[in-house]
Amino acid sequence: MNTTGNAHSNSPQQSAGNNPLARAMAESAQRAGNQDASPTSSGNDYPLSEAMAKTGGQFPDGFPELLNNPIALQRRQAELQRHQKKEAARQRLHKELNPLDATDVFNAREQQVKREIDQLRQELRLLVSDVGQLNKDIDIAVAQEVVNPGQTGAYHLNFFQKLKQLIMLLRQRVKSAATWLSYTRAIVSKKRSKRGPTLGMTGKAGKKTHDLMHHEMSQATSAG
Range of the domain at 215: 172-224
The CA-CA-CA angle for residues 199, 202, 203, to 5°, reads 125
Domain assignment present for 129: yes
Give the predicted TM-score (pTM) of the model. Answer: 0.39
The torsion defined by the Cα of 109, 111, 112 and 117, in degrees rounded to 10, comes to 130
Cα dihedral sign, 34-36-41-45: positive
Domain assignment present for 161: no
For every residue of 82-126, DSSP letters joined together read HHHHHHHHHHHHHHHH-SS-HHHHHHHHHHHHHHHHHHHHHHHHH
In a shared domain, residues 223 and 197? yes
- The predicted-structure confidence for 139-197, as pLDDT tens digits, reads as follows 888 888 887 878 888 888 998 899 999 889 988 888 888 899 888 888 888 888 875 54
Q: Which of 70, 97, 124 is the last residue of a domain?
A: 97
Counted domains in the chain: 3
Q: What is the largest CA-CA distance in the chain?
A: 141
Each as own residue / partner, the long-range contacts of residues 58-62 (CB below 8 Å, 24 or more positions apart, any chain) are 59/21, 60/21
- The predicted-structure confidence for 94-136, as pLDDT tens digits, reads as follows 777 766 666 777 888 889 999 999 999 999 888 888 888 888 8
